[in-house]
Copies of this chain bind each other. A is one copy, B any other.
Amino acid sequence: MKKTIAVVGLGLIGGSLALALKGFEDFEIVGVDVSQPTLRFAAEHGVGDAVTADAMEVVPRADVTVLCLHPRGIVRFLGEYRDVFKPGSLVTDVCGVKTSIMAGAEILPEGVDFIGCHPMAGTEFSGIEHAFAEMFQKSHLILTPRPSSTPEHVSLMERMGAYIGCKDVVKTTPEEHDAILAYTSQMMHIIALSVCDDEQLFACKGFEGSSFRGCTRVAALDVSLWTELFSMNSPALLSAVDRLEENLHAYREALASGDVKALSDKLAHSAGRKRRMDLEGPDTLTLE
């Protein structure tokens, strides 16, 4: 008999995951959502192998349950379904904060494993109609296993990551995840939002290149999702924003000083750091 992966929440990420997981080993992919239009779209577009509005029908028999809800929705679902998950099964998620989620998962009974998961993929759009199977190609898959997570479950997550196209799997603690993601992801969104608050925004049409588009793209974000992500990780995010304010102000002062040699040295320092980062991936050749 086939095993079952339940994907709970068929939004942009859940929908893409249900598409990308189809054909994975001997699993049937069952999509779960409360919205009838979403379920209809999923059924019509082959998002997963089957869909249902009834989590109670699929969760008790799922070998893996992937919670693709907003962070507070994940914590709520864990509480409501704690006694419903199949003994020995694995529960995981996809969201961008991990400390609160891992704490929420403490409620699960012994014998139900939980591995925090965050695929570093997405777009600025929302909803199943923007889902696509290739979303996870070449992205990092971050895992925060419990100390007690079984090697079999960790290995299963790694195989799922490889199957959906992730370029690597990075294991870390929830605390380290949240500290670093405050910088690499949440702060990028704060920057994009702040740039779009500029009084010049609407005057600049026709004058933007892809450095502007690249920086501001993510400002068109899902407000309720990002309000949760920001507020559930605000100490780390505040620390990242404070560091940015300091580094930005140092550039402001270097510009204001009129010392061209010092400005040039400062640029060489920062540009050298960027080159040492040597990020790979499809974006490095994007047009400016």
Contacts and interface: CB of A to CB of B under 8 A. Distances in A.
Contact of A231 (B139, B193, B260): B260
A78 B120 CA distance: 49
Given A191-B191, A211-B189, A197 B252 contact: no
A114 to B, nearest CB: 21
Contact of A192 (B190, B202, B263, B274): B274
Interface string A65-102: 00000000000000000000000000000000000000
Interface in A172-202: 172, 177, 179-181, 183-185, 187-202
What's the interface size class on A, roughly?
35 or more
A212 B122 CA distance: 12
B121 A263 contact: no
A287 interface: yes
A6 B266 CA distance: 35
B283 A258 contact: no
Nearest to A252: B241
Interface string A201-245: 111111111111111111111011011001100100110111111
Nearest to A171: B206
Interface in A93-146: 120-124, 135, 137, 139-140, 142
27 contacts: A120-B208, A123-B288, A139-B209, A180-B204, A183-B198, A184-B211, A185-B209, A188-B195, A188-B211, A190-B248, A190-B251, A191-B191, A191-B215, A191-B248, A192-B211, A194-B247, A194-B270, A195-B244, A200-B240, A201-B273, A214-B217, A214-B286, A217-B286, A219-B274, A234-B258, A241-B251, A286-B286
Given A168-B206, A188-B215, A196-B271, 15 more contacts: A142-B207, A183-B198, A191-B195, A194-B247, A194-B250, A197-B269, A200-B240, A205-B277, A214-B217, A218-B288, A219-B273, A231-B263, A238-B255, A242-B252, A245-B252
Q: Which 5 A-B pairs have the closest CB atoms?
A: A214-B214, A122-B288, A219-B274, A120-B209, A193-B270
